[in-house]
């Protein structure tokens, strides 16, 4: 760190602070660089050491965030543009029916062990399958008002499991 306090090359100083101002969101407008001071476009003098001290503090904060993300990756939201982890080949209604059942049975929960809200379940659906569920609460309520069969996908899963179980024991 001591090398940051002894900038002798003006070009290095300019490049460093341009980088810090761009990546930190701070605006450092048209600075006039001198050996020990910085002059802003409004004519104000700023001590070079103070400017460097603030830049170091910003860099240390960024490094601290990176360290925390490495230690606790589950606490940091991932890029929402990442590709889905799997492909759902059924209908959206089938997926909602299964997800709702898993949520209410307490099989899928938050990392803290608390029950997931329906909005968290739909975020999980998006993260795993890349599917967005528009009007998710409305679609959830429509699952309960079906007229023919209340849970056709779950019944289909039960039938498949029974068939596979019989096939396993009949070998």
For the chain, which residues make up each domain, given as ranges? 2-74, 92-169
Residue 124 pLDDT > 80, yes or no? Answer: yes
* Average of per-residue pLDDT values in the chain: 75
Poorest-confidence range of 17-21, 42-46, 145-149?
17-21
Q: pLDDT (tens digit, 9 = 90+) per residue, 148-165?
A: 777 888 889 999 999 999
Element (H, E) at 32: strand 32-33
Q: pLDDT (tens digit, 9 = 90+) per residue, 3-14?
A: 444 444 455 555
R_g of the chain computed on alpha carbons: 28
DSSP E strand stretches across 36-165: 37-39, 45-47
Separation between Cα atoms, residue 158 and residue 73, nearest integer Å: 36
Give the single-character DSSP code of 130.
Answer: -
Separation between Cα atoms, residue 42 and residue 39, nearest integer Å: 8
């Amino acid at each position: 760190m001591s090398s940051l306090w002894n900038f002798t090359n003006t070009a290095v100083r300019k490049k460093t602070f341009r980088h810090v101002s761009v990546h930190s969101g701070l605006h450092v407008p048209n600075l006039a660089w001198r050996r020990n001071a910085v002059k802003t476009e409004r004519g104000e003098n700023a001590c070079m050491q103070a400017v460097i001290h603030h830049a170091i503090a910003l860099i240390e904060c960024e490094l601290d965030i990176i360290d925390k993300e490495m230690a606790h990756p589950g606490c940091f939201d991932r890029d929402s543009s990442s590709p889905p982890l799997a492909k759902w080949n059924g209908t959206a209604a089938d997926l909602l029916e299964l997800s709702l059942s898993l949520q209410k049975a307490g099989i899928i929960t938050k990392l803290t062990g608390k029950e997931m809200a329906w909005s968290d379940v739909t975020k999980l659906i998006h993260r795993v399958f890349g599917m967005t569920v528009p009007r998710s609460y409305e679609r959830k309520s429509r699952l309960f008002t079906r007229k023919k069969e209340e849970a056709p996908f779950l019944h289909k899963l039960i039938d498949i499991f029974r068939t596979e179980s019989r096939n396993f024991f009949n070998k």
